[in-house]
Chains A and B, each alone.
Chain A
């Protein structure tokens, strides 16, 4: 039997049980009544003790959302979502104010432990070895904000970050504690009217992370948010806002998982990044939402709007994503290159298997002079999945000297999957230099046989070849997460591909 055929057969045999994060945590939760109405929006706002301006902002978004229709241009296919059949808010009980990690429901701590996300600061320190030659152990610390369904349950290292002047807290707290910052920046990159899902998010978002790095500060540790959807029939609408003030630097990572369920669950997040003059934001995602079972039943609908604004001169925003989960992914982390000499980067690995559908890519909008952008996208399709790269690169009339380089590579495993590349390129100015390269290849029998002849099993051979294929992107991840992502890819390949 040809090696690829064997791989394809194994893909057919995969079971839902291959998803390692599919367990459910049994805890009591406090939910909003089912369905969406002004009452739901008010309920959420009230739960969060929000000021009046915030409620007003939400209601305006809700009213606008009522007039909008779902976008249909993406290459994804799913039954119509009944927005009245969802819960828009779910919080673990007991709902009391938590002042230290010890007061968190042990069940939730256990959940994060199972997921390999230690919330204990001590564990965090012990778990990460310093690199050789690196004396300062502080550099290896990672601050974690954990979001369970609709609320943030724990944020670590808050005090230490505060010393550096960095604000890292749940956005619900930031709305109360730093209203001037939130009011100034919220919706300034992704306006409430932006698109159907972003507008919905603006109306009902419940939590997410807020980061502010003051001028000239290099954030002393990696910041990380971990999102977990636990509750049945619940949508997760998180909102993340990161501001890097002049000359500052921050690296941020998000991870996501969910229990396996037969019904589809909606995840519609909005992420906004703002980089001022000479600032840099590095945003990395390892997305592993439940992808559905081998017949395509269940899984997360991941409809996400992520956008970064290089507002200042010489600013830089870099998106890196490793997408292995979700039944449907609809996601285009983008950069608005407004400041002169600003730079946008997008590095992506998207793996689809089973019946997963991925429509993902980026937009690089060159507005300032001598702005540069780079796009490296690696799509891997297996099973009966469809994997689309969709990208827009555009240069404004005033964006003289704009430059972009794009490389989109697709790798097909088996003959029932599809890879598609849909690049849009618009240059409204003759000094722009845009380069686009695209390749599509099938994982070759000859390469697999070569590896197997040298003693690798079929699975190991596929894993090795795929990890080589995505190496350029893996290198962009912070080191700890690169290792995690590589494991995740291998796991998807062991269980889901080979």
Chain B
């Protein structure tokens, strides 16, 4: 069974149709890249999978391990293993990162019917994970993303990904706002988390990111549909020719 199956998905935002019949199948262990120009519907797709309010699904289906994802609340989707790394992670003043991680992890475990972590067990786990990703303990004491640099915010997303152990990670424009060094650090973190049980969907404008996170399959989106899919060489081809050729295909 596929991990994620998006079938003929149609989505509206305030009367305007953004996705017109999108299809996508992702299996365990695969890395997919979704590329496309601004306004092609890449971010909409990631938001609808995660369950962000404000989108109306007018047709089609999203199955996650065969279960109807659209029937689940967004927090339940998270507990089932759907993780969205945000393009712009939000700041939550006054809430220590450590508190946030613990609250979220225990909420997910509770939703799955697992026991919550005790404080010492949690601390042990978070130290282990942050050490493996070279994340300083000091960052965990600060308010969630408050005063973090662009690179730190993305590393915080990677840290959460490592801690929550989702089976599907969607990375929405992870490269935006990062210089090349920060990009490499974040990409290294993502690569460290790749496993045969975990799939990644990498959304990006540019081929650049795909030098660091190498996809198995590349999809090109235009005007709310996937118009072409291929191997990693498709990304290089796009870099050379641009998106214009696909405008007509859509």
Contacts and interface: CB of A to CB of B under 8 A. Distances in A.
B115 to A, nearest CB: 15
Contact of A470 (B74, B90, B94, B100): B94
B82 to A, nearest CB: 8
Given A453-B78, A454-B104, 15 more contacts: A2-B53, A447-B90, A451-B104, A452-B73, A452-B75, A453-B86, A454-B100, A455-B108, A456-B107, A457-B73, A458-B75, A465-B92, A465-B95, A469-B94, A472-B94
A433 to B, nearest CB: 26
Contact of A468 (B75, B92, B104, B108): B92
A5 B54 CA distance: 11
A3 interface: yes
Interface of B: 50-54, 73-75, 78-79, 83-84, 86, 89-95, 99-100, 103-105, 107-108, 111, 143, 160, 164
A468 B98 CA distance: 13
Contacts, number: 82
Given A446-B90, A464-B103, A467-B94, A456 B53 contact: no
Interface residues on A, range: 20 to 34
B167 to A, nearest CB: 14
Nearest to B93: A468
B78 A454 contact: yes
Contacts of B108: 454-455
Contacts of B75: 452-453, 455-458
A455 B90 contact: no
Given A1-B53, A450-B86, A455 B92 contact: no
Contact of A444 (B51, B90, B94, B104): B90
Interface in A443-493: 444-447, 449-458, 460, 464-465, 467-472
A2 B53 CA distance: 5
A468 B78 contact: no
Nearest to A456: B107
A469 B92 CA distance: 8
A455 B111 CA distance: 8
A450 B157 CA distance: 11
Given A454-B164, A455-B75, A464-B92, A449 B104 contact: no
Contact of B78 (A2, A447, A455): A455
Contacts of A471: 94-95
A445 B74 CA distance: 13
Contacts of A456: 75, 103-104, 107
14 contacts: A447-B90, A447-B91, A449-B74, A452-B75, A453-B51, A454-B100, A454-B104, A454-B160, A455-B107, A457-B107, A460-B107, A464-B95, A465-B95, A469-B93
A447 B103 contact: no
B90 A450 contact: yes
Interface in A276-314: none
A452 B143 contact: no
B95 A453 contact: no
Contacts of A450: 86, 89-90, 92
A231 B212 CA distance: 72
B105 to A, nearest CB: 7
A458 B107 CA distance: 11
A3 B92 contact: no
A454 to B, nearest CB: 4
Contacts of A451: 92, 100, 104
Contacts of B91: 447
B90 A453 contact: no
A463 to B, nearest CB: 9
Among A5, A449, A454, A458, max chain B CB count under 10 A is at A454
A2 B51 CA distance: 11
Nearest to A445: B53
A244 B106 CA distance: 46
B52 A449 contact: yes
B94 A455 contact: no
Nearest to B85: A453
Nearest to A450: B90
A455 B105 contact: yes
A468 B108 CA distance: 21
Nearest to A6: B53
